[in-house]
Structure 1
Amino acid sequence: MLDHVTLRTADLEGTRAFFETVLDLKPGYRPAFGFPGYWLYAGKEPIVHLIPGHAGPVDRHGETIDHAGFRLADYQGHRRKLDALGIPYTTMDLPELGERRLFLHTPTGILLELVFREGENFGGA
Structure 2
Amino acid sequence: MLDHATIRTNDLDGTRTFLEAVLGLKAGYRPDFPFPGYWLYADSSPEVHLIPGNGGSVNRTGETIDHIAFRLSDHDGMRRKLDKLAIPYSRMELPELGEHRLFIRTPTGILLELVFRESDTPHSQSTL
Q: Which runs of 5+ in 1 are unaligned?
A: 121-125
Residues 25-50 of structure 1 show CA distances to partners (whole Å, capped at 9, x for unaligned) of: 00000000000000000000000000
Task: Give me the identity figure in percent.
Answer: 70
Aligned pairs, number: 120
Aligned to 1:66: 66
Q: Which residue of 2 aligns with 1:51?
A: 51
Moved over 2 A (4+): none
Q: TM-score, normalised by structure 1?
A: 0.94
Question: 2 CA distance for matches of 1:29 and 1:57?
Answer: 29
Q: C-alpha offsets along residues 44-99 of structure 1, whole Å, 9 cap, x if unaligned?
A: 00000000001112111110000000000000000000000000000000000011
What residue in structure 2 maps to residue 10 of structure 1?
A: 10
Task: Identify the residue that residue 22 of structure 2 maps to in structure 1.
Answer: 22
What is the one-letter code of the residue matched to 2:9?
T
**Structure 2 unaligned residues grouped into runs of 5+:** 121-128
Q: RMSD value over aligned CA atoms?
A: 0.9
Alignment partner, residue 79 of structure 1: 79
Show the counterpart of 1:34.
34
